[in-house]
């Protein structure tokens, strides 16, 4: 296709009319017609609260930190999804253990107020039976128990109580005081 073998003609530029004529008006009247979106498009994700256990696997996998676990003042843990920062890579769907996140083809996300872009899932926290502190989520506890039943008897202890119980257990067994 080098320049030498392109036929140069003075009125060659009129051929643009031929091209335009042949292609016709290709505009998709989008808001009133179907857009050019294929079935494989990755759009906004949708978190199903019946399956989400608040484990945070998606939070670790999300490159732009669009998914964050925030714990409000009274100990409630909630998963916040900020669509504004999401890059629609669907890594969270790959890593979610319970398949709670579903990908949609939604892309009409324009808004004039940024608070529309936040989806929040508020989780029930676990209450530690010894010291009453609220930690992680109840759903997480049930999920862990279903996965490995033997942890059942100390799943409702918050991490510090659990550690001190564990240390005491070792101490009793070896008879030495570990303070």
Partner 1 sequence: MDIISKYIDAIKAIEPRADIHVSDDTVYTTVSSSKLRDLAKAIYWDMDCFFRTCVGADERSINGFYALYHIFGDDRNGLNIVLKVYADPNNPTIPSIVDIVPAADWCEMEARDLLGIEFSGRKQYRLVLPPYWPKDLYPLRKEVPYNVKPQVIISSEKVGSWGKAPTGVAVPVGPYHPALHEPEYFELYVEGERVVDVRYRGFHVHRGIEKLGESKLTYQQVNFVAERICGICGFEHSVCYAQAIEKAAGIEIPERAKFIRSIVLEVERIHSHLLWVGVAAHLLGYDTGFMHTWRIREHVMVIAEMLTGSRKTYGINLIGGVRKDINEEKKRRALDVLKIIEKEFAELVKTMVNVPQIMKRLKGTGILPREDARKLSVVGPTARGSGLDRDIRRDLPYAAYGYADFNVPVYDEGDNLSRFLVRVDEVYESISIIRQLLDQLPQGPIMIEEFDIPEGRMAVSVVEAPRGEDIHFVITGRGKPYRWKVRAPTYQNIPALRVMLRDQPLADAPITIASIDPCFSCTDRVFIIDKHGHRKSLDQIMYRWR
Partner 2 sequence: MSKPKFLGKSIWVFHLNTGSCNGCDIEVLDVLTPYHDAERFGVKLVVSPRHADAALLTGPITIESLPKVLRAIEAMPRPRIIIALGSCACGGNIWHSSYSVIGGVPELLKILDERGIEVDGVYYVPGCPVRPESIVYAVGLIKGLVPKKIKPKVKKVGG
Partner 3 sequence: MEYLIFSIVFAGLSLLIPPLMDGIERKIRARVHSRIGPPITQTWYDLLKLFEKELVIPEGGLHIIILSLLYAMLAILTIIFTVSMVLMGYRYVLIVIITLFLFVQAIFTTVPFITSNPFAIIGASREVMLALVNEVFFVIILGLYMFFTGSPGLLLGSTSLLRASMILLVITLFVSAYVASGRIPFDIAEAEPELASGALIEFSGPILGMFMYSNFIKRLFVKLVPSMLILLPFTNNWLYLLIGSFAMAIILWVLYGLIAALLGRTRVDIAPISILKIYIPFIIVSILLYLAGY
Please report, as ranges, the residues that interact with partner 3 according to CB under 8 A.
13-14, 16-17, 19-20, 23-27, 29
CB of 37 to partner 2, least distance (A): 7
Is the separation of the CB atoms in 68 and 78 below 8 Å? Answer: no
Q: Provide the minimum distance between the beta carbon of 25 and partner 3 in the complex, in angstroms, as a whole number.
A: 6
CB neighbour burial string for 122-150, b if at least 16 within 10 angstroms, e if fewer: ebebbebeeeeebbbbbbbbebbeeeeee
How many CB atoms are closer than 10 A to CB 32? 6
**Strand pairing category for 101-103 and 77-82:** unpaired
CA distance 67 to 62: 7
Which residues in the 130-159 window bind partner 2 by CB under 8 A?
A: 137-139
Residues of the shown chain interacting with partner 1 in the complex, contacts defined by CB under 8 A: 1-3, 6-13, 15-16, 19-20, 23, 26, 36-38, 40-42, 60-61, 63, 87-91, 94
By beta-carbon proximity to partner 1, the closer residue of 38 and 112 is 38
Q: Which is nearer to partner 3, 18 or 150 (CB)?
A: 18
Closest approach, Cβ 12 to partner 1, in A, equals 3
- The item of partner 1, partner 3, partner 2, none sharing an interface with residue 117, based on CB under 5 to 8 Å by kind, is partner 2
Which pair of tokens denotes residue 23? 């292609």
**Binding to partner 2, residues 73-132 (CB under 8 A):** 82-88, 106-112, 114-124
From candidates 60, 65, 104, 164, binder to partner 2 by CB under 8 A: 65
Distance of CA 4 to the CA centre of its chain: 55
**C-beta of residue 50 within 8 angstroms of C-beta of residue 94:** no
Least Cα distance to 65 among 79, 76, 75 occurs for 79
Radius of gyration of the chain, Cα coordinates, nearest whole angstrom:
28
Report how far residue 151's alpha carbon sits from residue 98's, in angstroms, rounded to the nearest whole number: 20
Q: Is 27 in the site for partner 2 (CB under 8 A)?
A: yes
- Return residues touching partner 2 (CB under 8 A): 23, 25-31, 35-37, 44, 47, 49-50, 52, 54, 63-66, 82-88, 106-112, 114-124, 137-139
């Amino acid at each position: 296709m080098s320049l030498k073998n392109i036929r140069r003609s003075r009125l060659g530029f009129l051929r643009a009319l031929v091209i335009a004529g042949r292609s016709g008006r290709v505009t998709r009247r989008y808001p009133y017609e179907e857009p050019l979106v294929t079935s494989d498009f990755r759009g906004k994700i949708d978190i199903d609260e019946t399956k989400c256990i608040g484990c945070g696997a998606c939070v670790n996998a999300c490159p732009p930190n669009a998914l964050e676990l925030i714990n409000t003042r009274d100990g409630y843990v909630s998963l916040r999804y900020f669509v504004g920062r999401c890059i629609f890579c669907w890594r969270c769907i790959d890593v979610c253990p319970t398949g709670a996140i579903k990908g949609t083809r939604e892309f009409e996300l324009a808004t004039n107020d940024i608070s529309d872009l936040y989806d929040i899932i508020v989780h029930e926290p676990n209450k530690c039976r010894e010291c009453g502190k609220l930690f992680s989520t109840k759903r997480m506890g049930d999920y862990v128990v279903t996965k490995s039943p033997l942890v059942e008897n100390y799943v409702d202890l918050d991490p510090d109580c659990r550690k001190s119980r564990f240390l005491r257990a070792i101490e009793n067994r070896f008879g030495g005081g570990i303070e």
